[in-house]
Amino acid sequence: MPKEPEISLTEKTFVLEALKQNLRVDGRDLQSFRDIQLTFGDDYGFVDVRLGKTRVLARISAEVTKPRPDRQFEGMFTITTEMGPMASPVFEIGRPTELDHTLSRLLEKSIRRSTALDVESLCIVTGKRVWSLRADVHFLSHDGNLTDTACIAVITALAHFRLPVVTVSGEDITIHSVTERVPVPLSLLHWPICVTFSFFGEDEGGDMVCAIDATAQEEALRMGDMTVTVNKNGEVCQISKSGGVAVEAEVLMRCARLAAGKVKVVDKLIAEALREDEVRRNKGNLDWLKEGKSENER
Protein backbone atom coordinates (compact mmCIF):
# COMPACT_ATOMS: atom_id res chain seq x y z
CA MET A 1 0.00 0.00 0.00
CA PRO A 2 1.68 3.33 -0.90
CA LYS A 3 2.94 5.47 1.96
CA GLU A 4 0.45 7.92 3.45
CA PRO A 5 0.46 10.84 0.96
CA GLU A 6 2.43 13.84 2.20
CA ILE A 7 0.38 16.74 3.62
CA SER A 8 0.30 19.66 1.16
CA LEU A 9 2.22 22.76 2.12
CA THR A 10 -0.81 25.07 2.14
CA GLU A 11 -2.73 22.70 4.43
CA LYS A 12 0.29 22.40 6.69
CA THR A 13 0.84 26.15 7.10
CA PHE A 14 -2.89 26.71 7.63
CA VAL A 15 -3.22 24.15 10.42
CA LEU A 16 0.03 25.17 12.12
CA GLU A 17 -0.85 28.83 11.97
CA ALA A 18 -4.26 28.10 13.50
CA LEU A 19 -2.68 26.03 16.27
CA LYS A 20 -0.29 28.85 17.04
CA GLN A 21 -3.31 31.07 17.68
CA ASN A 22 -4.83 28.43 19.95
CA LEU A 23 -7.41 27.41 17.34
CA ARG A 24 -8.08 23.94 16.02
CA VAL A 25 -9.51 22.94 12.67
CA ASP A 26 -12.34 21.01 14.36
CA GLY A 27 -13.06 23.85 16.79
CA ARG A 28 -11.89 22.12 19.96
CA ASP A 29 -9.60 23.99 22.30
CA LEU A 30 -6.08 22.66 22.63
CA GLN A 31 -6.58 21.01 26.00
CA SER A 32 -9.69 18.93 25.32
CA PHE A 33 -10.43 15.42 24.13
CA ARG A 34 -12.86 14.73 21.34
CA ASP A 35 -16.15 13.32 22.69
CA ILE A 36 -15.69 9.76 23.92
CA GLN A 37 -18.51 7.27 23.22
CA LEU A 38 -18.45 3.86 24.88
CA THR A 39 -20.88 1.20 23.62
CA PHE A 40 -21.03 -2.29 25.11
CA GLY A 41 -22.00 -5.54 23.43
CA ASP A 42 -24.01 -8.56 24.50
CA ASP A 43 -21.36 -10.39 26.45
CA TYR A 44 -19.17 -9.11 29.25
CA GLY A 45 -15.72 -7.70 28.55
CA PHE A 46 -16.47 -6.16 25.15
CA VAL A 47 -16.45 -2.43 24.42
CA ASP A 48 -16.49 -0.28 21.28
CA VAL A 49 -14.77 3.05 21.95
CA ARG A 50 -15.25 5.99 19.63
CA LEU A 51 -13.04 9.10 19.96
CA GLY A 52 -14.28 11.39 17.21
CA LYS A 53 -13.67 9.36 14.03
CA THR A 54 -11.14 7.05 15.68
CA ARG A 55 -12.79 3.75 16.64
CA VAL A 56 -11.29 0.85 18.58
CA LEU A 57 -12.81 -2.44 19.84
CA ALA A 58 -11.50 -4.27 22.88
CA ARG A 59 -12.56 -7.74 23.96
CA ILE A 60 -11.44 -9.65 27.04
CA SER A 61 -11.55 -13.43 26.98
CA ALA A 62 -10.47 -15.88 29.67
CA GLU A 63 -9.43 -19.52 29.69
CA VAL A 64 -7.99 -21.85 32.31
CA THR A 65 -4.36 -22.93 31.81
CA LYS A 66 -1.31 -24.11 33.70
CA PRO A 67 0.69 -21.20 35.17
CA ARG A 68 4.23 -20.34 34.10
CA PRO A 69 6.77 -22.38 36.05
CA ASP A 70 8.52 -19.29 37.43
CA ARG A 71 5.19 -17.64 38.38
CA GLN A 72 3.28 -20.41 40.13
CA PHE A 73 0.76 -18.25 41.97
CA GLU A 74 0.01 -15.70 39.24
CA GLY A 75 -2.47 -15.78 36.40
CA MET A 76 -1.51 -14.54 32.97
CA PHE A 77 -2.63 -11.38 31.16
CA THR A 78 -1.62 -10.54 27.58
CA ILE A 79 -2.64 -7.64 25.37
CA THR A 80 -2.56 -8.18 21.59
CA THR A 81 -2.87 -5.24 19.21
CA GLU A 82 -2.87 -5.64 15.47
CA MET A 83 -3.45 -2.83 13.01
CA GLY A 84 -4.98 -3.93 9.75
CA PRO A 85 -5.84 -2.18 6.50
CA MET A 86 -9.35 -1.52 7.87
CA ALA A 87 -8.02 1.19 10.16
CA SER A 88 -6.13 2.93 7.36
CA PRO A 89 -4.57 1.83 4.08
CA VAL A 90 -1.09 2.50 5.47
CA PHE A 91 -1.20 -0.62 7.66
CA GLU A 92 -0.58 -4.00 6.10
CA ILE A 93 -1.19 -7.38 7.71
CA GLY A 94 2.06 -9.02 8.69
CA ARG A 95 4.28 -5.95 8.37
CA PRO A 96 4.19 -4.18 11.74
CA THR A 97 4.89 -0.44 11.47
CA GLU A 98 6.72 1.67 14.02
CA LEU A 99 3.33 2.72 15.42
CA ASP A 100 2.53 -0.95 16.09
CA HIS A 101 5.61 -1.41 18.23
CA THR A 102 5.27 1.90 20.08
CA LEU A 103 1.62 1.28 20.82
CA SER A 104 2.04 -2.28 22.11
CA ARG A 105 5.00 -1.19 24.26
CA LEU A 106 2.94 1.70 25.63
CA LEU A 107 -0.01 -0.52 26.56
CA GLU A 108 2.44 -3.01 28.05
CA LYS A 109 4.04 -0.37 30.25
CA SER A 110 0.83 1.44 31.12
CA ILE A 111 -1.39 -1.52 32.00
CA ARG A 112 0.61 -4.67 32.56
CA ARG A 113 3.81 -3.21 34.03
CA SER A 114 1.90 -0.89 36.36
CA THR A 115 -0.07 -3.92 37.72
CA ALA A 116 -3.47 -2.40 36.96
CA LEU A 117 -4.85 -5.97 37.07
CA ASP A 118 -3.94 -7.95 40.19
CA VAL A 119 -2.72 -11.14 38.48
CA GLU A 120 -2.55 -13.02 41.77
CA SER A 121 -6.35 -12.87 42.02
CA LEU A 122 -6.46 -14.95 38.80
CA CYS A 123 -4.92 -17.94 40.51
CA ILE A 124 -7.29 -20.95 40.96
CA VAL A 125 -4.96 -23.70 42.21
CA THR A 126 -1.35 -22.54 42.73
CA GLY A 127 0.95 -24.28 40.36
CA LYS A 128 -1.83 -26.17 38.56
CA ARG A 129 -4.66 -24.03 37.26
CA VAL A 130 -4.84 -20.30 36.72
CA TRP A 131 -6.96 -17.95 34.63
CA SER A 132 -5.20 -16.69 31.51
CA LEU A 133 -6.77 -13.43 30.40
CA ARG A 134 -6.32 -12.08 26.94
CA ALA A 135 -7.21 -8.58 25.72
CA ASP A 136 -7.69 -8.28 21.95
CA VAL A 137 -7.62 -4.74 20.62
CA HIS A 138 -8.98 -4.20 17.11
CA PHE A 139 -8.43 -0.88 15.33
CA LEU A 140 -11.38 -0.12 13.11
CA SER A 141 -10.75 3.45 12.04
CA HIS A 142 -7.62 5.60 12.49
CA ASP A 143 -8.16 9.33 12.80
CA GLY A 144 -5.28 9.99 15.18
CA ASN A 145 -4.62 9.21 18.83
CA LEU A 146 -4.91 5.40 18.68
CA THR A 147 -2.87 5.17 21.89
CA ASP A 148 -5.32 6.89 24.22
CA THR A 149 -8.35 5.23 22.59
CA ALA A 150 -6.76 1.77 22.90
CA CYS A 151 -5.86 2.38 26.56
CA ILE A 152 -9.39 3.57 27.42
CA ALA A 153 -10.82 0.56 25.52
CA VAL A 154 -8.69 -2.01 27.39
CA ILE A 155 -9.32 -0.44 30.80
CA THR A 156 -13.09 -0.21 30.19
CA ALA A 157 -13.22 -3.80 28.88
CA LEU A 158 -11.31 -5.04 31.95
CA ALA A 159 -13.70 -3.17 34.26
CA HIS A 160 -16.69 -4.54 32.31
CA PHE A 161 -15.47 -8.16 32.20
CA ARG A 162 -16.93 -10.78 34.55
CA LEU A 163 -15.02 -13.94 35.45
CA PRO A 164 -17.05 -17.15 35.89
CA VAL A 165 -17.14 -18.44 39.45
CA VAL A 166 -14.90 -21.45 40.14
CA THR A 167 -15.26 -23.94 43.02
CA VAL A 168 -12.39 -26.23 43.84
CA SER A 169 -13.10 -29.52 45.61
CA GLY A 170 -10.00 -31.60 46.08
CA GLU A 171 -8.50 -32.22 42.70
CA ASP A 172 -11.33 -31.34 40.37
CA ILE A 173 -12.30 -27.79 39.51
CA THR A 174 -15.83 -26.90 38.47
CA ILE A 175 -16.37 -23.72 36.43
CA HIS A 176 -19.94 -22.58 36.92
CA SER A 177 -21.61 -21.43 33.73
CA VAL A 178 -23.00 -17.95 33.50
CA THR A 179 -26.46 -19.18 34.32
CA GLU A 180 -25.57 -21.16 37.46
CA ARG A 181 -23.64 -18.49 39.36
CA VAL A 182 -23.49 -14.75 38.64
CA PRO A 183 -19.91 -14.13 37.32
CA VAL A 184 -17.61 -11.97 39.44
CA PRO A 185 -15.78 -8.76 38.28
CA LEU A 186 -11.93 -8.60 38.05
CA SER A 187 -9.90 -6.99 40.80
CA LEU A 188 -8.50 -3.83 39.19
CA LEU A 189 -6.15 -1.99 41.55
CA HIS A 190 -6.23 1.28 39.58
CA TRP A 191 -7.28 2.62 36.17
CA PRO A 192 -4.19 3.90 34.27
CA ILE A 193 -5.31 6.22 31.44
CA CYS A 194 -2.94 7.50 28.69
CA VAL A 195 -2.97 11.13 27.62
CA THR A 196 -0.92 11.97 24.51
CA PHE A 197 0.42 15.51 24.00
CA SER A 198 1.51 16.75 20.57
CA PHE A 199 4.04 19.56 20.22
CA PHE A 200 3.85 21.95 17.28
CA GLY A 201 6.84 24.21 17.81
CA GLU A 202 6.94 27.61 19.43
CA ASP A 203 4.45 30.42 18.88
CA GLU A 204 5.50 34.09 18.74
CA GLY A 205 5.69 34.30 22.52
CA GLY A 206 8.35 31.60 22.34
CA ASP A 207 6.49 29.01 24.38
CA MET A 208 5.71 25.56 23.03
CA VAL A 209 2.28 24.93 21.46
CA CYS A 210 1.00 21.61 22.83
CA ALA A 211 -2.34 19.95 22.25
CA ILE A 212 -4.15 16.89 23.57
CA ASP A 213 -5.75 14.17 21.42
CA ALA A 214 -4.42 15.06 17.96
CA THR A 215 -6.36 14.02 14.87
CA ALA A 216 -4.58 12.11 12.09
CA GLN A 217 -3.91 15.36 10.24
CA GLU A 218 -2.44 17.01 13.34
CA GLU A 219 -0.39 13.89 14.04
CA ALA A 220 1.17 14.16 10.58
CA LEU A 221 2.22 17.77 11.31
CA ARG A 222 3.43 17.52 14.90
CA MET A 223 7.13 17.94 15.61
CA GLY A 224 7.12 15.79 18.74
CA ASP A 225 4.80 13.92 21.06
CA MET A 226 4.66 12.65 24.62
CA THR A 227 2.39 10.11 26.29
CA VAL A 228 1.76 10.33 30.04
CA THR A 229 -0.18 7.57 31.80
CA VAL A 230 -1.79 8.68 35.05
CA ASN A 231 -4.45 7.22 37.31
CA LYS A 232 -7.05 9.24 39.11
CA ASN A 233 -5.17 9.36 42.42
CA GLY A 234 -2.31 11.30 40.80
CA GLU A 235 0.19 8.49 40.31
CA VAL A 236 2.13 8.73 37.02
CA CYS A 237 2.43 5.16 35.69
CA GLN A 238 4.67 5.92 32.72
CA ILE A 239 5.94 8.75 30.59
CA SER A 240 7.42 8.34 27.13
CA LYS A 241 8.66 11.16 25.03
CA SER A 242 10.91 9.39 22.55
CA GLY A 243 12.59 12.15 20.63
CA GLY A 244 11.06 14.87 18.53
CA VAL A 245 11.40 18.60 19.22
CA ALA A 246 13.11 19.58 22.49
CA VAL A 247 10.68 20.93 25.07
CA GLU A 248 11.38 22.89 28.26
CA ALA A 249 11.19 20.76 31.42
CA GLU A 250 8.69 23.24 32.85
CA VAL A 251 6.31 22.67 29.92
CA LEU A 252 6.52 18.88 30.36
CA MET A 253 5.63 19.19 34.02
CA ARG A 254 2.67 21.42 33.13
CA CYS A 255 1.52 18.76 30.67
CA ALA A 256 1.81 16.04 33.33
CA ARG A 257 -0.36 18.04 35.76
CA LEU A 258 -2.88 18.76 32.99
CA ALA A 259 -2.98 15.03 32.21
CA ALA A 260 -3.77 14.22 35.85
CA GLY A 261 -6.75 16.58 35.67
CA LYS A 262 -7.97 15.20 32.35
CA VAL A 263 -7.77 11.62 33.59
CA LYS A 264 -10.22 12.38 36.40
CA VAL A 265 -12.78 13.48 33.77
CA VAL A 266 -12.25 10.37 31.61
CA ASP A 267 -12.34 8.15 34.70
CA LYS A 268 -15.75 9.50 35.67
CA LEU A 269 -17.02 9.02 32.14
CA ILE A 270 -16.00 5.34 32.08
CA ALA A 271 -17.56 4.68 35.49
CA GLU A 272 -20.74 6.39 34.29
CA ALA A 273 -20.95 4.29 31.12
CA LEU A 274 -20.35 1.06 33.06
CA ARG A 275 -23.11 1.87 35.52
CA GLU A 276 -25.52 2.68 32.69
CA ASP A 277 -24.77 -0.66 31.04
CA GLU A 278 -25.24 -2.50 34.33
CA VAL A 279 -28.68 -0.92 34.79
CA ARG A 280 -29.68 -1.69 31.20
CA ARG A 281 -28.45 -5.26 31.48
CA ASN A 282 -30.34 -6.08 34.65
CA LYS A 283 -33.56 -4.20 33.85
CA GLY A 284 -33.75 -5.29 30.24
CA ASN A 285 -33.75 -9.00 30.57
CA LEU A 286 -34.95 -10.64 33.72
CA ASP A 287 -34.71 -13.89 31.86
CA TRP A 288 -31.01 -13.56 32.49
CA LEU A 289 -31.06 -16.86 34.26
CA LYS A 290 -33.27 -18.49 31.65
CA GLU A 291 -32.08 -20.74 28.84
CA GLY A 292 -30.05 -19.14 26.05
CA LYS A 293 -28.37 -15.88 25.54
CA SER A 294 -29.64 -12.56 26.77
CA GLU A 295 -31.68 -10.89 24.10
CA ASN A 296 -31.62 -7.21 24.92
CA GLU A 297 -33.39 -4.99 22.51
CA ARG A 298 -31.22 -2.44 20.78
Partner 1 sequence: MEGLRNDGRRWNELRRIHCQLSTSSTNADGSSYIEQGFTKVLCNVTGPAEPSNRQRVKQDSATVSCEVYFAAFSGTDRIKRGRNDKKVQELQTAIQKTFSSIILTHLFARSEITISIHILSQDGGTLAACINAATLALIDAGIPMTDYVCACTAGQSTSIFDNEGASPDPWLDVNYLEESDIPSLTVATVGDSEKIVALSMENKVRIEALEAMIAVGISGCARVRGIMDKEVRRYGKEKLEAEGE
Partner 2 sequence: MSPLTPEITLCPLPQTDGSCQYTCPTSRTTILTSVNGPLEVRAKDELPNDATIEVIVKPGIGVGGVRETRLSTLLQTTLKSLILTTHHPRTLIQIVAQIVQSEDHTSIPLLLSPLLNSTILSLLIAGIPLRTTGWSIHLAVLPANTPIPAAHKDTILPNEEGESAEEGAMETDEGEGREVIVRNPGRVLLSKAKSSHTLVFSKEGQMLLIESVECSEGVGGESADGQGWDIEEWLRIMRIAKGLCCGEGVEVVRDALGDRKIF
Whichever of 44 and 200 has its CB closer to partner 1, that residue is 200
Site for partner 2 (CB under 8 A): which residue of 23, 35, 85, 185? 85
CB under 8 A: which stretch of 45-53, 145-153, 155-163, 255-263 binds partner 2? Answer: 45-53
The rounded distance, in Å, linking the Cα atoms of 177 and 165 is: 8
For 263-287, give one letter per residue: b (16+ CB within 10 A) or e. beebbebbeebbeebeeeeeeeeee
CB neighbours of 195 closer than 8 A, spacing ≥ 6? 148, 212, 227, 228, 229, 230, 258, 259, 262, 263
* Residues forming the site for partner 1 (CB under 8 A): 3, 96, 98, 101-102, 104-105, 108-109, 113-114, 223-224, 226, 230, 234-250, 252-253, 256-257, 260
| Identity of the residue, 96 or 183, whose beta carbon is nearer to partner 1 in the bound complex | 96
Among 58, 87, 111, 195, binds partner 2 (CB under 8 A): 87
Burial class (CB in 10 A: 0-12, 13-18, 19+), 210: buried
Looking at the Cβ atoms of 18 and 189, the one nearer to partner 1 is 189
Q: Check binding of 71 to partner 2 (CB under 8 A).
A: no
217 makes contact with partner 2 (CB under 8 A): no
Q: Considering the rule CB under 8 A, would residue 42 count as an interface residue with partner 2?
A: yes
Q: Please provide residue 36's backbone torsions phi and psi, each rounded to the nearest 5 degrees.
A: -100, 125
Q: Which does 275 bind (CB under 5 to 8 A by kind): partner 1, partner 2, none?
A: none
* CA–CA separation, 273 and 292 (whole Å): 26
